[in-house]
Structure 1
Amino acid sequence: MLRTLLFTLLFLCLAPVNGEWEGCGSGKVIKGESTYICLIVSDIEDWNGSAENGDVVYYRYLFSPTVDDFTKLEVQDSWVTSANNADCQDCGLEANKANCHSCKDTLLRNFTSPAVHVQSIQSISYIRRYRGEHSGVHRTFPYMTAIIEVDMGIISGITWDEGCTFCNDDQCTPNTYDFNGALYESGPKACYMDDTDCMNGDLVSDVCPLQVYAVWSGTDANGDYLKSSELRFSEFKSMSLTNWADKIKDKYEEVKDYTEYEEGGDTSV
């Protein structure tokens, strides 16, 4: 049965943390118990040194899902309008910020090419582009799955699943970036959709808002095997998106609300 976790939403506008990165939560991973996952939205840029100085603008969303439940983490109202909207053109550029107050899309209002990476406890993933201009066209990259690798309750790494399961080869492109803002050519690829395909009149496609599926692999603190990674997208390569959705719709935990929201850098627009 589909379970939706409802949390109280706290809007916390906090100053960036100086010094060492403190991670996203603490403790060991235990199957069936709650844990912490953070989605960090920013532009693709050089994080090394810049974030500590407050130069990187980012949004940080903290979720508390259940370990080894195939989980969908969704940021509500994250896709409101096409990037072709005249009110939302290049708003992430400092020179354009004053002209972007009328942009109704929160992410486009603060970022030129919104990207996301995942944190859990003391581990962190590479960066994946979520929206932006690609080959001269405004596009969105849906179907993101983060695989959380665990060794006896300690997270050893977070990797992106191959993201081209539900698209043609000509819509599949490299989409993994390091924290210097450089494309990681050998990283997992991802599908894209033109922004125009994300909208049908005034309605936004269900797959276009920012949503990251999370799965676990390895062993928890008690030595129990974590098996939710068996439901990741790349395990269903022969299926259409519709068939995949039908197969897993009763198997994932949907977390639409986050327990904490934080802004860093200059997000005064």
Structure 2
Amino acid sequence: MTADGPGTPGTLFIVATPIGNLADLSPRALETLRTVDAICAEDTRHTRQLLAHFGFERPLLALHEHNEGEIAERIVARLLNGDSLALVSDAGTPLVSDPGFRLVRAARAAGVKVSPVPGPSALIAALSAVGLPSDRFAFEGFLPAKASARREQLQRLAGEPRTLVFYESSHRIGEALADMRAAFGDERPAAIARELTKLFETVLDGTLAQLQARVEADENQRKGEFVVVVQGAGEDDGAKIAEGRRVYALLNEHLPPSTAAKLAAEISGAPRKALYGQGG
């Protein structure tokens, strides 16, 4: 798929690949991968297996979070020289919690055409299946691995009215749900989409308290890859949190933070963890 004519830049195709079920690779994505000059892959071993499943090979270039800044310029040089290239991640749509934006930014800055080949995305697949409001949502990607940073981020999101979407790993799903309960309250509606499009796909819904209990009770529900979707704060939730933070800010001037948060939560009805550390 080398560009037509000397001096004509090639195209950088951003190709979505399956998140589980290989039949989800679109005909256009397959044809693009077959015909580009090379494929930039997050994990070349993984992509080589994908191509082998469909019976062909292409030259592969490793592009991941550790080397993207270094090799983006070299890849853009190939594009400017007329090669057309594809960018893929291990699964789903590149750049969505995956490497690639530095390359795309550099290609566009150099005048190279960047063309999306849309397809699977765990984010959109989960939103379509869980039955929570999807007209407005905020994608937060992976929460911080460090517990204190994770809790601080969730506390900042406690009053967010849009549906919240997170990616989470099997290693931290239990801790993440516990921290969400503390920040958003036990009764906040939510859902967990696990192993989407794969053999053991499950979608659980309920309150955060119910979901944490189900995950803790079933070891299988702690395995795989997770999308956690949490309904945004309603008007009552937002009002409680806003009032709780106002009260906390006043009490925090005279009381230890933990005592101020406890009293502010009792006065306002807001989750205590959503108030702790606010206003002081």
TM-score range (shorter-chain normalised) is under 0.3
Structure showing greater relative contact order (alpha-carbon pairs closer than 8 Å, 6 or more residues apart): 1
Q: Which has the larger radius of gyration?
A: 2
TM-score (ref. length: structure 2): 0.23
TM-score (ref. length: structure 1): 0.23
Greater helix share, 1 or 2? Answer: 2
Greater strand share, 1 or 2? Answer: 1
